[in-house]
Chains A and B, each alone.
Chain A
Amino acid sequence: MYKLIINGKSIEAPDGATILETARRAGIRIPTLCFLEKREPIGACRVCLVEVAGARTLMAACSTPVTNGMDIKTNSPRVRAARRQVVELLLSEHDGNCQICDRNQDCELQALASELGIREIAYEGEKAKAKIDDSTPALVRDNSKCIKCRRCVTVCSQVQGVGALHPQGRGFDTVIGPAFTLNLDGVACVQCGQCAAVCPVGAISERSHVEAVWKALEDPKKTVIVQTAPAIRAALGECFGCEPGTRVTGKMTAALRQLGFNGVFDTNFTADLTIMEEGTELLTRLKKALVDGEKVPLPMFTSCSPGWINFAEYYYPEFLPNLSTCKSPQQMFGAVAKTYYAQKIGVKPEDMTVVSIMPCTAKKFECQREEMNDSGARDVDYVLTTRELGRMIKEAGIDFMSLEDEKMDAPLGLGSGAADIFANTGGVMEAALRTAYEIVTGRQLPMENLHVKPVAGLEGIKEASVVITGTVPAWSFLEGVEVKLAVAHGLANVRRLLESIKRGEKSYHFIEIMTCPGGCIGGGGQPRMTDDSVRLKRIGAIYSEDESKALRKSHENDAVQQLYKEFLGAPLGEKSHHLLHTHYKHKPAL
């Protein structure tokens, strides 16, 4: 333990702690721009400068370790002047068209300028040339807004293990981007949008579908329906000043109705459907392996997360046969809505517009994959991120916080608690176990409150195993089998897991993969800024949503059973195969 003084106050700090950590723990705010929790500080932005007695220059708090007897001032006139100067320099080369920027009122640079009381910019210089990169369906980059803090670089290479973005060139001409002057579509970017989630300014954002959705809502010829992913209800409130982890399912439903959607539905419905299909697929693969001695691809991987699909298609083609062939819940919804539901209400698929609200940018990519049109039209037309929905609700003048709770429409609005937890890392695994265990044994999953604790939480790679006993006759071949499970989130963790499987160190039967840290609740389209404390709050909200329901198992969703009876037949049947399953292709890493 070190003893030191910050702003005249005696403080203790462990060996190796930085000034920034120590100050934050003591409730002293030091502003930062480039800092990312749990990552090596890079000291690029110089906003966290503090005065250390005896030091010749001001020190960057994020990257300076504390020492015994240090006397630190975080708010002296010298510090304030230096910080102002740093921010003025950033502003002098920043395209500061705040009023028309995507990040207006949600920008860390703008907030910092306000906090530091900057009223004029003492420097006038060259500004970076604007170069808009809208080459991908998910993301838009604008270099003239970039302040070169490199958070996106850190997230892309260290958290996601992708490395699509790096500093190119040097000095003033440095551009943070893909190789040389390439656009994002020129490198193997998985379009997860974690870069957009950590960007402090408007340099990387999702490609907006807001205008297209307004247009569809205004079109009298169109029946416009909306599906909402489970992660939205635990985060949308943050766009309206709620604490992270506030559940706003009912208000969200009411707001969507006010926006003019003709049907307000739940991606939970098709999450339950996914469990029916994917659970059956897993049990079929296990039967083939254990009874028929066939060589089937195991472990089986979940396939809900489109960033992960991109990652596998670019970097791990050898595992593509192991991916579940199930489409993601978003795409299953589109395919079911434009066939089953469209027929029910007598609308042609081409006259129906399906909008998704997703915590994800890669979903924008997924919906325009060429194979995703099995209904005869584009299965999902537009995808709005949580942030975009927040913006539309504000644009429409809806007073979100005063809305009365409403319920979603039948039949595609009915979802189980098992579907809710698809939003959390470990949730798809838990939902699958709740159903598969019960099918195989005729008994409820013997775990407290139905939660599979070992696969929950923010650990990057989690393992569990379930020994199956007391099987019903149809599944007796699984008697005594220990089913090995793994869950990974954050693609750098996924890479580690896949490599350990390739080296033969690990073997599993079933693996859940989510692209973003924490799962969909930490998606690239969620309100900023998402750190671990926010992730844990949203995860908690999702579990409470699940626990608040009577219906907590996918196979007990009556609306899904009805869909099989009236339309699909049986899981993995011919119609399911056509509408709900897909295939993958190796994309050479660019």
Chain B
Amino acid sequence: MAENAACCACSESLSEEETARQLEEILEEYRDKPGGLIPALQIAQSRFGYLSETVLKKISAAFNKPYSEVAGVVSFYSFFSTVPRGKYLVRACLGTACYVRGGKAVLSALKKELGIDVGQTTEDRLFSLDVGRCFGACGLAPVIMVNDDVHQRVKPSKVGELLKAYAAGEKGDAQ
């Protein structure tokens, strides 16, 4: 599951052939499993950083599902991204507990600090910003995740510092 949950840790892009080879591997494993579509999408995103049109069309062909249906699944879950993302994916939880404990203010601080809106990526391709719907750490609310790291009881005023640590490479260099 660790592999599934990891997001966009890769910043360098794979060659077309390498992408195709790795995708084939994933599809080989999941195409015949009932309910295999979502794990295949998760792993593909973790390998390639995002789900490109080419990748999605190959997945839809392999699973013998219409492209519109696969797109419906991808667009339903906020976890999936169809645009390239930054080295670090910052997700602010807006689940109920985080919401009532100031998750929205944390999100605003992140937006301001990064200068981007939800779903966008900074120009230096370092950070992408997304909203999460509960990471299962409600007792620690408000929570944000940066790639696989969970940060608890985040204060809007401390968000800048936290991001700087990642930018400086002091934290969470998953590679």
Contact = CB atoms under 8 A, between A and B. Distances in A.
A168 B68 CA distance: 8
A157 B71 contact: no
Interface in A184-207: 187-188
Interface in B76-100: 76, 82
Contacts of A573: none
Interface of A: prevailing SS? loop
Interface stretch (A158-166, A270-278, A407-415, A469-477): A158-166
A41 interface: no
B67 interface: yes
A167 B72 contact: yes
Contacts of A187: 66-68
Interface string B133-164: 00000000000000000000000000000000
Contacts of B82: 180
A164 B66 contact: yes
Interface residues of A, number: 18
B68 A163 contact: yes
Nearest to B56: A179
A307 to B, nearest CB: 16
A164 B68 contact: yes
A163 B76 contact: no
B70 interface: yes
Given A179-B70, A180-B82, A163 B65 contact: yes
B75 A169 contact: yes
A518 interface: no
A163 B75 contact: no
A167 B69 CA distance: 8
Contacts of A164: 66, 68
A55 interface: no
B67 A168 contact: no
A100 interface: no
Contacts of A170: 75-76
Question: Which of B68, B72, B76 has the most CB atoms of chain A within a 10 A radius of its CB?
Answer: B68
A345 interface: no
A207 B69 CA distance: 25
Contacts of A179: 67-68, 70-72
Nearest to B77: A170
A178 B72 CA distance: 9
A165 B68 contact: yes
Contacts of A162: 66
A187 B70 CA distance: 12
A317 to B, nearest CB: 14
B69 A157 contact: yes
B69 A163 contact: yes
Interface of B: prevailing SS? helix
Nearest to A184: B68
Contacts of B67: 179, 187-188, 590
A41 B139 CA distance: 40
A157 B74 CA distance: 18
A26 B69 CA distance: 38
Contacts of A182: 68, 71
Nearest to A162: B66
A32 to B, nearest CB: 24
B66 A157 contact: yes
B69 to A, nearest CB: 5
Contacts of B74: 180
A177 to B, nearest CB: 8
Contacts of B71: 166, 168, 178-180, 182
A170 B65 CA distance: 20
A170 B72 CA distance: 9
Nearest to B67: A179
Question: Which of B67, B69, B70, B72 has the most CB atoms of chain A within a 10 A radius of its CB?
Answer: B72
Contacts of B70: 179
Contacts of A166: 66, 68-69, 71-72
B76 A169 contact: yes
A162 B72 CA distance: 15
Contacts of B65: 163
Question: Which of B65, B71, B76, B82 has the most CB atoms of chain A within a 10 A radius of its CB?
Answer: B71
Interface string A136-178: 0000000000000000000001000011111111100000011
B166 to A, nearest CB: 29
Nearest to A171: B76
Contacts of B69: 157, 163, 166
Interface of A: 157, 162-170, 177-180, 182, 187-188, 590
The 10 A-B pairs of least Cβ separation, nearest first, read A163-B66, A179-B71, A166-B72, A166-B68, A179-B68, A166-B69, A169-B75, A168-B75, A179-B67, A170-B76
20 contacts: A157-B69, A162-B66, A163-B65, A163-B66, A163-B69, A164-B68, A166-B66, A166-B69, A166-B71, A166-B72, A168-B72, A168-B75, A177-B68, A179-B68, A179-B70, A179-B71, A180-B74, A182-B71, A188-B66, A590-B67
Given A163-B65, A163-B68, A178-B68, 16 more contacts: A157-B69, A162-B66, A163-B69, A164-B66, A164-B68, A165-B68, A166-B69, A167-B76, A168-B75, A169-B75, A170-B75, A177-B68, A179-B70, A179-B71, A180-B71, A180-B82
